[in-house]
Amino acid sequence: MIEYRRRLPHIQPEEATFFVTTRLWGSLPAAIIKQLKAEHDLRLESIERLETDPTAKGRALSDAQKRYFTQFDNQLDRPKNGPYWLAESAIAEITVKAIHFLHGKDYHLIAFCVMSNHIHLVIDTHELAKRPRPLYKIMQTLKRYIAGKGNEFLQRTGSFWQDESYDHVVRNQQELKNIIAYTLNNPVKAGLVDTWEEWPYSYVNEDFL
């Protein structure tokens, strides 16, 4: 297990199936982030006060974290939460190629979706013992490359990605199935296409169809 500390203690296993979401720098207003965090903190405090067994409390905390993520993700799909650098077809293609490039090197690629201001990524890091790398290192490599190429295309400098990413360890096959469906259907949920197959910047490994 790798413990990665930034703003919050965070433990990441080296070998697991991960669902990762990362967003562009400045893609959510500070007021919205503050509000969502305050609501989430209240839910966590309420759960911690519950007089129940550790298993039930763990499930409640997990559900609260998923709800917190979903609220963030819903905000990202709203039309006024830019920037939208990934909507540039050239940058979207750079992102797609970079994600595919690390397949078989740092992870086995299961699915992804590139939206205008964030990406969803489903990967598996099992059976890559030749060069095991913690998830945060993998994401640093991926984000650094896309940021460099993206800023070059945009003729700008400065932050491209928000520092923090959301990551979740997938626990079982049913959860994996649900997460893949969630990832692929993001453009449908956002009202951009009628079916996920119409979105040019989505992918799913055929083994998981």
What are the boundaries of each domain within the chain?
2-27+82-208, 28-81
- The confidence score (pLDDT) of residue 6 equals 42
Residue range 73-93: mean pLDDT, rounded = 89
Confidence class for position 200, pLDDT limits 50, 70, 90: very high
Helices H, strands E: what count in the chain?
A: 6, 7
Burial class of residue 122 (count of CB atoms within 10 Å of its CB; 0-12, 13-18, 19+): buried
pLDDT reading at 3 higher than 50:
no
Q: Under a CB-based contact definition with an 8 Å cutoff, are residues 94 and 201 in contact?
A: no
CATH topology of domain 2-27+82-208: Alpha-Beta Plaits (3.30.70)
Confidence (pTM): 0.85
Cα(7)–Cα(100) distance, rounded to whole angstroms? 30
Count CA atoms within 13 Å of residue 42 on its CB side: 6
pLDDT in tens, 119-142: 999 999 988 756 678 999 999 999
Please state, in angstroms and rounded to a whole number, the distance separating the CA atoms of residues 132 and 141: 14
Residue 49 C-alpha from the chain's centroid: 30
Q: How confident is the model at residue 4 (pLDDT cuts 50, 70, 90)?
A: very low
Percent of the chain with pLDDT strictly greater than 70: 91
pLDDT at 161 over 90: yes
| 81-85, 91-95, 136-140: range with lowest mean pLDDT | 81-85
User: Between these two residues, 31 and 6, which has the higher pLDDT value?
Assistant: 31
- The one-letter code for the residue type at 53 is D
